[in-house]
Amino acid sequence: MTVFAIEALVLIVFFTLVIRLLAKQNPLNFLQDYPEPIRERVKELGYEVEETSRHSKAYIVRKGIVALMMGLVLTFVLVKVNHVTTFGAAFLTAYGLWVIVDLYDILLDIVWFCRDESLIIPGTEDLVEAYHDYMFHVRASVRGLVIGLPVCVLAALLCVLVGRL
């Protein structure tokens, strides 16, 4: 259990650093993760951004690549740190870590995103209600939990394959 807690903490720290660096560098890096009224206003303002739809091919491909990378990282951690080679143990450990990071992401969104003025895109300052739409982040978290299922199944299958080598 101690190893699991350390792994969860490391993932949370890594997640926080990556998100914080990219978001502080340019809030538009995560425009697809902003509520719809903000995305629409950004389009109206003429910012040069990719398609802002959460259903666009570019968004889905980018999220898919990140999910695949997470699956590979989880596989590496499960095999090299946890020495897990059975599907059940690998899936439960991977999904447990996924859930912890997903729940942390809700907390991060509600405590940081909804309150950090540096993440308010110029020209959208009046959209306070959209920035404070907590349910938007809860719904995104539920989608994240669903996305985590196939990612963790993949990680578990890879653990079994690696365990047979």
* SS3 letters across the chain: CHHHHHHHHHHHHHHHHHHHHHHHHCHHHHHHHCCHHHHHHHHHHCCCCCCCCCCCHHHHHHHHHHHHHHHHHHHHHHHHCCCCCCHHHHHHHHHHHHHHHHHHHHHHHHHHHCCCHHHCCCCCCCCHHHHCCHHHHHHHHHHHHHHHHHHHHHHHHHHHHHHHC
In tens, the pLDDT along 64-103 reads 888 888 888 888 888 888 888 899 999 999 999 999 999 9
pLDDT for the residue numbered 54: 66
The torsion of the CA quartet 60, 111, 26, 105, rounded to 10 degrees, works out to -30
**Which pLDDT belongs to residue 50?**
67
Task: Name the residue with tokens 């697809």.
Answer: 32
d(CA 106, CA 47): 27
Residues of the chain with pLDDT under 70: 50-54
Rounded distance, CA 29 to CA 163, Å?
Answer: 38
